[in-house]
Amino acid sequence: MLTPQSISRRALLKFTSLGFGTMALSTLLSEQVSAKPGPLAPKSPHFPAKAKRVIFLCMRGAPAQADTFDYKPRDRKVVTTNITPTTKRKYAGKGPAGSVVPFSQHGESGLWIADSMPNLAKHADDLCVINSMHTDLPNHPQSYLMLHTGDFRFARPSVGSWALYGLGTENQNLPGFISINAETRVGGAQNYGSAFLPAIYQGTAIGYVGADIAKSGIRNVTGNPLTAELQRKQLNLVQSMNHQLLKQSQLDTQLEGAIQSLELGHRMQDSVTEVLDVSQETEATLKRYNVGKTKSTGRCRNDDFGRQCLWARRLAESGVRYIELCHSNWDQHGNHVAEIQANCTAIDKPIAALIQDLKDRDMLKDTLIVWGGEFGRTPLSEAGKKGSGHNNRGFTFWMAGGGSKGGQNYGKTNETGAVAVENKVHTHDLHATMLHLLGLDHEKLTYRYAGRDFRLTDVYGNVVKGLLA
């Protein structure tokens, strides 16, 4: 028996006026819950953005700057054998260090690009080539984490997680941050993790380095052994029990959230399957992207980079905020010339096709493409089967679209291409500039954790105005 002292407000609404009070309150609260934007809902930037999304083309292993986008002729009179401070004399040689592959100038801007990338060279006037990058250490694990999270000492949110945290995403049926062909070493999942940010902002991996990308998908979403019809029946059964329980309890916002989450997961399954299905593309498109045609050469893996780039375009069209692709391996410690040319050939047609498709769809102007690896390499003094070493003191990145200033070389390295000497750009500066193009102030995009406000660039970083259009 209820007494005035034991009646709660919820019980009062339930047992008076035939329970209409509870029904009314339930309806009002349900509307509020459904109207409340989720954590991935689109958010306004700090200021008008040039870019709506990012496609990061990660070249795992450290590309050789002097044999890709930083031409250093070796016909100088001055002989340079001390390429970089290193005890590994095997990387030093007799004669001027510099480029050991042929280069040509391209576009109205006259950018020097290695001849092994003739298709990408057609877009020279879209490329903002940064020849003066530098980072803290010449070791893969530390520098790879630095590139992805801004710190190699502690677990920190990745660049994509910060972008998702600051802006949300445009498609609620797909992850807002996707990492394709993710590296399992050199930091592994930490490179696309959210660290202390809410887990909703972590990246979603599709495949991993060494796996067959054509057979990859999002785990626990596309890997369900049940047919679509059986999955729907299974979900209907679970949802019917949930709705029955909700009807009995009248009001349970947690249960309502579970019901919505299950439906969202089912929608994501359908959306992911559709966006990754390249059979919808024409044969001509598959050929332009060189899908399924990559060959392994030494350390250059068959990463099917063409499929990755085609997926990137389809994901960008579908509203995904941050997309990372990975091609490996650029760590040419031996057989440098053959392997660097194989790597360049593997990425040439796919990237050119991606840029052209974004142009044709009027999307390049608000899609920021970023290309580069964790550091660069020591320039060689002679061609042949010799290898190159690690070099963090001077290397190359490039941007295209998304408000970057195309058709220019920004910064310089010394005559060998080993050390950045003019308009130096640190990894923190790169991150600050990427966020700026997304409309985010890297000093204001913070998250309170362990008693302090953290940010991607920590206490460093400057927006490089010379990279902006």
Give a yes or no: residue 9 inside a domain.
no
The partner residues of 448 in beta bridges, in order of sequence, read: 453
Give a yes or no: residue 4 inside a domain.
no
pLDDT of amino acid 381 = 75
Helix (H) or strand (E) holding 348: helix 336-360
Question: Same domain for 131 and 230?
Answer: no
Tokens (6 digits) for 119:
């298709």
**What does each C-alpha distance from 367 to 401, 416, 450, 451 come to in angstroms?**
6, 33, 34, 35
Question: Same domain for 179 and 252?
Answer: no
Question: Same domain for 154 and 237?
Answer: no
pLDDT of amino acid 107 = 98
Question: Same domain for 120 and 98?
Answer: yes
Question: Same domain for 212 and 229?
Answer: no
Mean pLDDT, residues 455-462 taken together: 97
Q: How far apart are CA 237 and CA 250, in angstroms?
A: 20
pLDDT of amino acid 236 = 84
User: How confident is the model over 93-115, as pLDDT tens digits?
Assistant: 556 789 999 999 999 999 999 99
Q: Which of 1-5, 251-255, 352-356 has the lowest mean pLDDT?
A: 1-5
Residue 360 has pLDDT above 90, yes or no: yes
Q: How far apart are CA 337 and CA 384, in angstroms?
A: 7
Question: Same domain for 198 and 236?
Answer: no
Helix (H/G/I), strand (E/B), else coil: 376: strand
Give a yes or no: residue 42 inside a domain.
no
Give a yes or no: residue 349 inside a domain.
yes
Q: How many domains does the chain have?
A: 2
Range of the domain at 236: 222-275
**Could you give the angle at which helices 427-437 and 159-167 cross, rounded to 10 degrees?**
30
Give a yes or no: residue 237 inside a domain.
yes
Give a yes or no: residue 12 inside a domain.
no
Give a yes or no: residue 339 inside a domain.
yes
Select from 367, 262, 288, 280 the least CA-distant residue to 122: 288
Residue 380 has pLDDT above 90, yes or no: no
Q: What is the CATH number of the domain that holds 356?
A: 3.40.720.10
Question: Same domain for 264 and 349?
Answer: no
Q: How far apart are CA 129 and CA 398, in angstroms?
A: 4
Highest mean pLDDT among 4-8, 39-43, 127-131, 194-198: 127-131
Question: Same domain for 311 and 437?
Answer: yes
User: How confident is the model over 171-195, as pLDDT tens digits?
Assistant: 988 989 999 999 999 999 999 999 9
User: How confident is the model over 415-458, as pLDDT tens digits?
Assistant: 999 999 999 999 999 999 999 999 999 999 999 999 999 999 99
Residue 368 has pLDDT above 60, yes or no: yes
Contacts of 340 (CB under 8 A, 6+ apart): 63, 64, 67, 68, 101, 116, 330, 332
Mean pLDDT, residues 326-333 taken together: 93
The whole-model pTM stands at 0.85
Question: Same domain for 146 and 295?
Answer: yes
pLDDT bracket for residue 16 (50, 70, 90) = low
Question: Same domain for 150 and 269?
Answer: no
Question: Same domain for 125 and 257?
Answer: no
Select from 185, 96, 78, 86 the least CA-distant residue to 393: 86
Give a yes or no: residue 456 inside a domain.
yes
Question: Same domain for 228 and 96?
Answer: no
Tokens (6 digits) for 104:
């040509």
Tokens (6 digits) for 375:
């550091």
pLDDT of amino acid 221 = 65
User: How confident is the model over 115-170, as pLDDT tens digits?
Assistant: 999 999 999 999 999 999 999 999 999 999 999 999 999 999 999 999 999 999 99
CA atoms 303, 343, 433, 105: torsion sign: negative
